[in-house]
Chains A and B, each alone.
Chain A
Amino acid sequence: SQKIEQNSEALNIQEGKTATLTCNYTNYSPAYLQWYRQDPGRGPVFLLLIRENEKEKRKERLKVTFDTTLKQSLFHITASQPADSATYLCAPASGYALNFGKGTSLLVTP
């Protein structure tokens, strides 16, 4: 069955450092992959989408890579700030449905 794995343990980093979150998937070949941010008790908010023919995508301090051979996406936040503290969800997609990983909680401390 299809599986999406994100680090279940929370990631704690210091302000100003780069946070790197991992998303691995098995048993399917997504045509694209999305990343979302979710704050406690709120709905997820879209951040970035990367297609299977794109190796890397950037948006301001965010960078996403997509390795279809390794079946992995990495999500980087550079110059992290306390306001970046949230849970980040990845969603590899092929077809109509969009399934999400359980998310990785990021805590950025001053």
Chain B
Amino acid sequence: DSGVTQTPKHLITATGQRVTLRCSPRSGDLSVYWYQQSLDQGLQFLIQYYNGEERAKGNILERFSAQQFPDLHSELNLSSLELGDSALYFCASSPGQGRAGELFFGEGSRLTVL
């Protein structure tokens, strides 16, 4: 158990809908990362937050947004969903800003868009 909690574990929805994925980092970790993993693309970095502030941005679509709250939990919002958004979404946390530390991953949220 990494200590990172993601909810929901599974989510099935329709195209055009909006969903919110939630992540609680390990106790004391200030950084949260979001990744998308699909079969053909591998693990794609979306965005990183450190202590409530955005630190780095990857290939995150404009339809996706995220934030980190004062209690350090984070949410990833996916809107106007398309079939291609079906994937495993992972959250990871680390104690510092992530320059040289390992990441602790949650078990992921599996999103299926029908």
Contacts and interface: CB of A to CB of B under 8 A. Distances in A.
Interface in A76-110: 89, 93, 95-103
B58 A97 contact: yes
* B interface, over-half SS: strand
B58 to A, nearest CB: 6
Given A43-B90, A44-B43, A89-B43, A99 B102 contact: no
Interface residues of B, number: 29
> Interface size bucket, A side?
20 to 34
B98 A49 contact: no
Interface in B34-61: 35, 41-43, 45, 48, 50, 55-58
A46 interface: yes
A63 interface: no
A43 B106 contact: yes
Nearest to A94: B99
A30 to B, nearest CB: 11
